[in-house]
């Protein structure tokens, strides 16, 4: 068992609040991702869970034990660092064995465990090399082997893939997911890459400026973002935003009117609108939820600015009354630069946010 | 292309001139040390009848007292030992206290660390002559005159600030994640320092160690001030005693000079890789 609980965690560096009253419970054997832009406090949170930094206030629990004042060497954790942090003066073998030696594991057992970990990470032919003789991908694998060899219950991973090239990153994502499934341990993963977080996590914690923005499954984060920040941060290309005014079209039927467009929509049956009529709102719509050349009546007519074919999809950069936005459409769309095309925001996929606070105007009925 | 060649040629000529400017006096001392007295006074470069006689002067325990400069020369082995004791201790103190101080300054945020650093730097800008008398009085009141300790303390005063500055810069180039990884792997803070941090910083440590040793070895002023007998006199002070001999045998002094610089040069050669890496790493890192 290894449940990790963080309670009212706050960390200040001078006047800067890196983590602001963060409370979360990481379930045993869960893959939880801390997601956010740089400086959002995600690495600081991870370091506090590891015991490498002391919180200004708040507590950390492993299962039911309060470990807030327990030094890292006595917490049951393994960690992978963004820079890998391999010991440059030791061979790969000694790098992997170091943690076991520190914990006085018998020598023959160490030998066996190191060999097993190296085989699992497919680096058993590199054991006598020094870290500087390895490629980036190999170093990454050594760092992972060093983490898994100790059989800790909590794995902390601090942007472990960000120094790899794009192709290797995709491979390692799969590898990490497989590792998580095989090891059955609690993984806490830090990344600023929203795609990575969506692909790998059981649940995602979105942080911004040290504050918890939303905690949910990848689907929840993507489909029901709690505020405009999350909506704009998660998804690639990000969600499009338009200013508008909310009007009631009768019953469950609503309208948003803005410059050059009128969007009719009905909230999904599971969601309820919390705002009043004539509120100033931000309408959010993902690129894939914009129909170009729709069969039904269009929301607006927009001008094509850039056309980006991507093989499987066609991305269009469009302009509507001075607002540029993106739409994803079928690859054999014929529209060209300068064309005026009818578009339609899919009524069930529309997001609404408060113009001033950015909070969602939908309330989940759960 | 031709311009490039010309540029390189000029650059090399300038480098050679600079090197010669530094090397020629030493080279001359080395050559003279193998000459007969007669030849040396003729300002000749290459000895015609090379001899080791000048060196033997320093190692004959019962030297011929009639020989010029023999009294001073006989003190050399003991003086070299004194220098070695003083230099070695200065180096050890620099490495031990310097690395601890530099580690704290590089890794921990505490009130006044900038003030401390500036204080160390400022202490280097005080000319030795200015604190000569106070230091002498302090040493006298503690009964330290004519001991190794007096010279060691004086040399540490001047080398330690430099050591701390260089090591602090060097330590800051070591990624913090290395120590963090060691902590997670089961080391205490001190364990991480000794098992991971210090082994990784060996080149820098060797560089400042050699530097402090060589600065102590070559220091003359405070050594002269605090020592009076052969029981504590380092080799720089003994070498200056030649000036007090009635007649100065040039070639013997030259041999002494070679003996004095021999050890630092050997050290520098052995560790040149670390010295360049250590100092370079600290500056560019």
- List C-alpha distances in Å: B196 to A72, A73, A85, A234: 16, 14, 11, 39
- B177, B186, B200 ranked by CB distance to A102: nearest: B186
- Cβ neighbours of B187 in A, within 8 Å: 73, 102
Q: Do A98 and B182 touch (CB under 8 A)?
A: yes
Q: Do A87 and B178 touch (CB under 8 A)?
A: yes
Q: Which residues of B30-47 are buried (b: 16+ CB within 10 A; e: fewer)?
A: ebbbbbeeebbeeeeeeb
What pLDDT is stored for residue A269 in this prediction? 62
Residue range(s) defining the domain that contains residue B52: 2-72
What pLDDT is stored for residue A324 in this prediction? 94
The yes-or-no verdict on residue B65 having pLDDT over 70 is: no
The yes-or-no verdict on residue B136 having pLDDT over 90 is: yes
Same domain, yes or no: B117 and B30: no
- Measure the CA–CA gap between A263 and A256, rounded to whole angstroms: 5
What pLDDT is stored for residue A9 in this prediction? 95
Spell out the alpha helix ranges (H) of chain B: 2-32, 37-40, 53-59, 70-74, 76-107, 113-124, 132-141, 148-172, 176-184, 189-192, 198-200, 202-218, 221-226, 235-240, 250-270, 272-284
- Tokens standing for residue A25: 């419970």
Is residue A81 less than 8 Å (CB to CB) from chain B?
yes
Q: What are phi and psi of A231, to 5 degrees?
A: -60, -40
Q: Do B177 and A102 touch (CB under 8 A)?
A: no
Least confident of A171-175, A196-200, A206-210, B16-20: A171-175
The domain limits of chain A are 4-232, 239-364
Q: Which residue has better confidence, B148 or B71?
A: B148
Confidence band, pLDDT 50/70/90 cuts, at residue B126: confident
- B180, B187, B189 ranked by CB distance to A85: nearest: B180
Q: Which of B174, B179, B181 to mutate to test the interface with A (most CBs of A within 10 A)?
A: B181
- Tokens standing for residue A89: 């003066």
Same domain, yes or no: B186 and B215: yes
Spell out the alpha helix ranges (H) of A8-163: 42-50, 92-102, 107-120, 136-148
What pLDDT is stored for residue A76 in this prediction? 87
Is residue A14 less than 8 Å (CB to CB) from chain B?
no
Cα of B193 to nearest chain A Cα, Å: 12
What value does the mean pLDDT of chain A take? 91
What pLDDT is stored for residue B243 in this prediction? 75
Q: Do B181 and A87 touch (CB under 8 A)?
A: yes
Number of domains in chain B: 2
The yes-or-no verdict on residue A114 having pLDDT over 70 is: yes
**Domain end marker among B72, B97, B121:** B72
- B181, B186, B199 ranked by CB distance to A103: nearest: B186
Query: What residues 51-70 of chain A have any CB closer than 8 A to a CB of chain B?
Result: 51-52
Least confident of A74-78, A183-187, B54-58, B70-74: B70-74
Same domain, yes or no: B269 and B163: yes
Q: Is the Cβ–Cβ distance between B82 and B232 less than 8 Å? A: yes
Nearest alpha-carbon partner for A304 in A267, A329, A283, A269: A329
Q: For B185, which residue in chain A has the nearest alpha carbon?
A: A99
- A81, A88, A102 ranked by CB distance to B187: nearest: A102
Indicate the fold that domain A239-364 takes in CATH. OB fold (Dihydrolipoamide Acetyltransferase, E2P) (2.40.50)
Q: Do B181 and A79 touch (CB under 8 A)?
A: yes
- Cβ neighbours of A77 in B, within 8 Å: 184
Q: Do A72 and B175 touch (CB under 8 A)?
A: no
* Residues above pLDDT 90, as percent of chain A: 70
What pLDDT is stored for residue B47 in this prediction? 82
The yes-or-no verdict on residue A230 having pLDDT over 90 is: yes
Q: Do A87 and B175 touch (CB under 8 A)?
A: no
For A282, counting Cβ atoms within 10 Å of its Cβ (0-12 exposed, 13-18 middle, 19+ buried), the class is: buried
Same domain, yes or no: B28 and B43: yes
Q: Is the Cβ–Cβ distance between A308 and A317 less than 8 Å? A: yes
Cα of B267 to nearest chain A Cα, Å: 24
Q: What is the mean pLDDT of residues A335-353?
A: 90
Q: Which residue has better confidence, A274 or A212?
A: A212
Q: Do B184 and A83 touch (CB under 8 A)?
A: no
* Each residue's pLDDT tens digit, A158-175: 999 988 888 888 888 998
Same domain, yes or no: B110 and B197: yes
Q: Is the Cβ–Cβ distance between A82 and B177 less than 8 Å? A: yes
Same domain, yes or no: B56 and B90: no
CATH number, domain of B118, equals: 1.10.3720.10
Same domain, yes or no: B154 and B280: yes
Q: What is the mean pLDDT of residues B151-178?
A: 92
- List C-alpha distances in Å: B265 to A100, B78, B207, B273: 44, 20, 14, 14
Confidence band, pLDDT 50/70/90 cuts, at residue B283: very low
Q: Is the Cβ–Cβ distance between A238 and A222 less than 8 Å? A: no
Same domain, yes or no: B269 and B140: yes
What pLDDT is stored for residue A165 in this prediction? 86
The yes-or-no verdict on residue B241 having pLDDT over 50 is: yes
* Each residue's pLDDT tens digit, B210-227: 989 999 999 999 999 999
Is residue A146 less than 8 Å (CB to CB) from chain B?
yes
Q: Which CATH number fits domain A4-232: 3.40.50.80, 3.20.20.370, 3.40.50.300, 1.10.357.10?
A: 3.40.50.300
What pLDDT is stored for residue A270 in this prediction? 64
Q: Do A103 and B182 touch (CB under 8 A)?
A: no
Q: Which of B173, B185, B193 to mutate to test the interface with A (most CBs of A within 10 A)?
A: B185
What pLDDT is stored for residue B285 in this prediction? 27
Neighbours of B48 (CB within 10 A): 10
Which distant-in-sequence residues (6+ apart) come within 8 Å of A59 by Cβ? A6, A7, A8, A9, A66, A68
Q: What is the enclosing helix (H) or strand (E) of A362?
A: strand A362-364
Nearest alpha-carbon partner for A163 in A96, A99, A222, A84: A84
CA quadruple B171, B173, B175, B179: dihedral, nearest 10: -10
Same domain, yes or no: B65 and B81: no
């Amino acid at each position: 068992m290894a449940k990790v609980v963080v309670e009212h965690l706050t960390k200040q560096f001078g006047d800067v609040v890196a983590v602001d009253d963060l409370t979360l419970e990481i379930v045993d054997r869960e893959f939880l991702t801390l997601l956010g832009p740089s400086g959002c406090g995600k690495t600081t949170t991870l370091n506090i869970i590891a015991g490498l930094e002391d919180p200004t206030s708040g507590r950390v629990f492993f299962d039911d034990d309060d470990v807030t004042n327990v030094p890292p060497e006595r917490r049951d954790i393994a960690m992978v660092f963004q820079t890998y942090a391999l010991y440059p003066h030791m061979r790969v073998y000694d790098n992997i064995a170091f943690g076991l030696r520190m914990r006085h594991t018998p020598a023959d057992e160490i030998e066996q465990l190191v060999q097993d970990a190296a085989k699992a990470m497919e680096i058993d032919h590199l054991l006598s090399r020094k870290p500087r003789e390895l490629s980036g991908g190999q170093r990454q694998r050594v760092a992972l082997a060093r983490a898994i060899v100790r059989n800790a219950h909590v794995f902390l991973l601090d942007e472990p893939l960000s120094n790899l090239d794009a192709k290797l990153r995709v491979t390692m994502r799969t590898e990490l997911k497989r590792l998580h499934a095989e090891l059955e341990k609690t993984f806490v993963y830090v990344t600023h890459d929203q795609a990575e977080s969506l692909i790998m996590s059981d649940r995602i914690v979105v942080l911004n400026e040290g504050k918890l923005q939303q905690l949910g499954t990848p689907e929840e984060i993507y489909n029901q973002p709690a505020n405009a920040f999350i909506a704009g941060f998660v998804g690639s290309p990000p969600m499009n935003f338009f200013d508008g005014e909310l009007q009631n079209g009768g019953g469950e039927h609503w309208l948003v009117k803005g410059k050059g467009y009128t969007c009719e929509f009905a909230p999904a049956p599971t969601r309820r609108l919390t705002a009043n009529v004539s509120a100033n709102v931000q309408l959010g719509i993902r690129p894939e939820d914009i129909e170009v050349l729709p069969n039904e009546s269009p929301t607006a007519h927009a001008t094509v600015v850039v056309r980006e074919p991507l093989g499987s999809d066609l991305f269009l950069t469009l302009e509507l009354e001075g607002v540029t936005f993106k739409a994803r459409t079928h690859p054999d769309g014929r529209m060209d630069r300068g064309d005026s095309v009818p578009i339609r925001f899919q009524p069930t996929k529309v997001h609404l946010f408060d113009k001033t606070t950015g909070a969602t105007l939908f309330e989940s009925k759960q | 292309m031709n311009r490039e060649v010309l540029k390189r040629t000029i650059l090399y000529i300038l480098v050679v001139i600079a090197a010669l400017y530094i090397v020629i006096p030493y080279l001359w001392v080395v050559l003279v040390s193998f000459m007969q007295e007669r030849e040396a006074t003729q300002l000749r470069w290459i000895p015609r009848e090379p001899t080791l006689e000048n060196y033997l002067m320093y190692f004959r325990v019962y030297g011929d007292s009639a020989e010029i400069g023999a009294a001073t020369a006989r003190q050399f082995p003991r003086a070299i030992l004194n220098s070695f004791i003083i230099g070695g201790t200065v180096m050890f103190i620099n490495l031990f206290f310097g690395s601890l101080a530099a580690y704290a300054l590089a890794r921990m945020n505490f009130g006044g660390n900038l003030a401390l650093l500036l204080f160390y730097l400022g202490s280097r800008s005080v000319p030795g002559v200015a604190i000569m008398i106070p230091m002498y009085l302090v040493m006298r009141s503690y009964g330290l005159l004519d001991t190794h300790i007096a010279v060691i303390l004086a040399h540490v005063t001047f080398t330690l600030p430099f050591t701390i500055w260089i090591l602090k810069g060097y330590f800051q180039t070591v990624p913090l994640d290395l120590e963090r990884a060691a902590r997670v792997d089961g080391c205490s803070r001190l364990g991480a320092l000794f098992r991971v941090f210090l082994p990784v910083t060996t080149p820098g440590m060797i560089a400042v160690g050699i530097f402090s040793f060589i600065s102590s070895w070559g220091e003359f002023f405070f050594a002269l001030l605090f020592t009076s007998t052969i029981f504590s006199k380092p080799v720089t002070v003994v070498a200056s005693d030649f000036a007090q001999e009635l007649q100065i045998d040039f070639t013997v002094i030259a041999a002494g000079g070679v003996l004095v610089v021999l050890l630092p040069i050997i050290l520098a050669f052995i560790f040149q890789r670390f010295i360049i890496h250590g100092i370079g790493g600290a500056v560019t890192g």
